[in-house]
Amino acid sequence: MLQRDKPAPISGVAARGEDVTVEFAGQKKTTKADDKGKWQVTLDPLAASKEPRTMVVKGASGDPVSIEDIVVGEVWIGDGRSNAHWSYEQQAQESGYKDVVLMEIVNTEHPLVRFGHGGRWVVATTPEHNKNCSALLLSFGVTLARELKGTGHAHRLAAAGTVDGPRLQVARH
């Protein structure tokens, strides 16, 4: 999911000096990988859309990479300690939140590790999908989706028994 109404930086790695093109939602951005192979483009602000779309990243060599089912909406990051970690399974179970997308992430103290590994996206349509997600953030997502008539999305950065500092660094970005 990408944040609506804000520029969206997209980054990756390629061969040094390789031209890279990113296509998404009618936009096409091109850049060149630096001497370490890192590249970044910034998509222009996008309107909220429930329609899942595909982003295609192409380099001068190799096959294009397609990232599917990307929606644009409201992205919230929730942090806390054990109170924000309280799972949906611990609340009354409901279903039918097709406009709420949640990311299940592994419990580790540093969020960059979690964003890069071990997470999976789920649409909040059944109690089975929701049982490991933060009850607090599911509530945020439902409210956002209803009030904005779009897609609500929430990342849970909370991990019981950890310090908040590393997660707050990510939230600033």
Alpha helix stretches (DSSP H) within 1-151: 82-85, 111-116, 127-130, 135-148
Cβ-contact 134, 120 below 8 angstroms: no
| Confidence band of 127 (pLDDT split at 50, 70, 90) | low
Q: What is the pLDDT of residue 108?
A: 52
Give the CA count within 13 Å in the CB-facing half-sphere of 36.
Answer: 5
What domains can be seen in the chain, in order of their start residue? 2-71 (2.60.40), 79-171 (no CATH)
pLDDT (tens digit per residue) in 81-94: 555 555 555 444 45
Query: What pTM does this model have?
Result: 0.69
Spatial contact of 33 and 18, defined as CB atoms under 8 Å apart: yes
Pairwise CA distance, residues 109 & 81, whole Å: 11
